[in-house]
Amino acid sequence: MGILRDYQEQIARQAAKLLKEKGMCYLAMEVRTGKTLTALTAAYLVKAENVLFVTKLMAISSIEKDFEMIKKPFKMTVINYESLHKVKKQTFDLVIADEAHSLGAFPKPSKRAAILWMKTGAARVIFLSGTPTPESYSQLFHQFSISGVYSPWSEYRNFYEWAKDYVYVTERIINGWLVKNYSKVKMHKIEPDIKPYLISFTQSQAGFNQEVIEFVRYVQMKPETYNKIKTLLSDQILLIGNEEVVIDTAAKKMSKVHQLFSGTVKTETGKQIILDDSKAVFIKNNYKGRKIGIYYNFIAEGDLLKATFKDWTNSPRIFNANTDTVFISQIQSGSMGVNLSTADIIIFYNISHSSLLYWQARARMQDKNRTTEAAAHWIFAKGGIEDKIYKAVQDKKDYTTYYFRKDYESVRIEVAGKMPEVPKAGIPEHIRGEARAWQQIGITGFKNEHRRLVRCSRVQERRS
């Protein structure tokens, strides 16, 4: 078929055979091995006439380019998941779901999975993902349900019915609530069901001969940045001008500390504030003359980077076509389906809590024909939280509040043991009365109220 590698042509024929016999197939091909061209060729082999290709926004231009290149005689609509609802009502005979793992929320289906299910109708389906089940095999149920009657589990009306047969349902406590956990599956039952639909292929099988080499570089942030973090952790509130940053839950505490260590923060009003440009200046001064792509995590980090690097783009096509352009993208939107193979180095201004995004983003510059080292550089604050997140995601674990509590236990404000006294200084009588009402409830209910009163007192003292 000319432009296809031998293995792509072989996989396309296997996929076409599965589509004809079973109505669906899952191409579990690792990143940069050519899933798109393989899927489009399979569509041609089954004589598809009207194809819906759903993907990430940043991948659309690359997919459209591949479609033009292969010149196959079928109509194709390419759209990102977030815009799927805009697709006009029509009959598709084949749906290609790229990054299909994003459809795998459970126990309830995600909104995008529900919309795609409605658009699919009776169409056959090709699923594409290098990581079909990044968290649990339970993620497969709602992915496969997109294919309707073709799913091996179509007899089950919903996930909960399916889980009775395929999941070891356990219970755990989250934020004081007892909830059911559906992550642990009965592999002896799932594996024979899914195996007939899966076609797996690795980079090693494709002939990739380079690994991603990772380097961690540390940047000393400004002294006031560390002071702000220390204040926030001790007082649970930080004043920046007229704006406030409050950490009244474990999740917010983790998020705000994470933001501050890279020099930005989002306040209670939603305002994005840039406090420290040390990381951006470090990158600009130390990577001159190198073709770089930069991934950031929080929105304000992107604003800072775009102000620092004037000649920037978020288009992989423009980046790959120019030698002096810097690619800048948020990790969440640019970690999948994006080709940055012309980059000398991929730089991570910050790191996401998600292990899936970590493994996806670091592979963006890998290519079978690449002859130079694929290097990923992580820019971490000295003494920052990033190192701890990095170690977690390398082990294919998401960095959750569980790990955050363990790492920052020493700076948490604890109220334990005997009943604490109601703080008086700077607190109005009506608030002290409210606290006394909490005292009647007991230590558990009082702990959060005590922390809130401490914050109120400190804020009053500072403002006066």
Question: Using CA atoms, how far apart are residues 141 and 101, in angstroms rounded to an integer?
Answer: 11
Domain boundary among 163, 191, 206: 206
Q: What Cα–Cα distance (Å) separates residue 260 from each residue in 245, 265, 266? A: 11, 6, 9
**Locus of tokens 């219970």:** 171
- Same domain? 402 vs 419: no
Mean pLDDT value across residues 58-73: 89
- Same domain? 195 vs 248: no
Decide if pLDDT at 246 tops 50. yes
**DSSP code, position 410:** G
**Cα dihedral: 287, 293, 299, 301 (round 10):** -10
Element (H, E) at 265: strand 264-266
**DSSP code, position 92:** -
Q: Beta strand pairing status for 124-128 and 75-80?
A: unpaired
Q: What Cα–Cα distance (Å) separates residue 41 from each residue in 44, 93, 100, 252? A: 5, 15, 19, 47
pLDDT in tens, 111-166: 999 999 999 989 999 999 988 988 889 999 999 999 999 999 999 999 999 999 99
Give the structural domain span for 179. Answer: 6-206
- Same domain? 155 vs 10: yes
- Same domain? 299 vs 228: yes
Mean pLDDT value across residues 29-40: 90
Domain boundary among 411, 426, 445: 411
- What region does 12 belong to: left with phi over 0, alpha with psi -120 to 50, or beta? alpha
Domain boundary among 206, 227, 243: 206
CATH of the domain at 139: 3.40.50.10810
pLDDT in tens, 268-311: 999 999 999 999 999 999 999 999 999 999 999 999 999 999 99
Is 107 part of any domain? yes
Q: How many folded domains does the chain comprise? A: 3
Is 348 part of any domain? yes
pLDDT in tens, 197-224: 999 998 888 877 667 788 999 999 999 9
Helices (runs of H) and strands (runs of E) counted in the chain: 19, 18
Decide if pLDDT at 104 tops 60. yes
Mean of all residue pLDDT scores within the chain: 84
**DSSP code, position 110:** P
Phi, psi of 360, rounded to the nearest 5 degrees: -70, -45
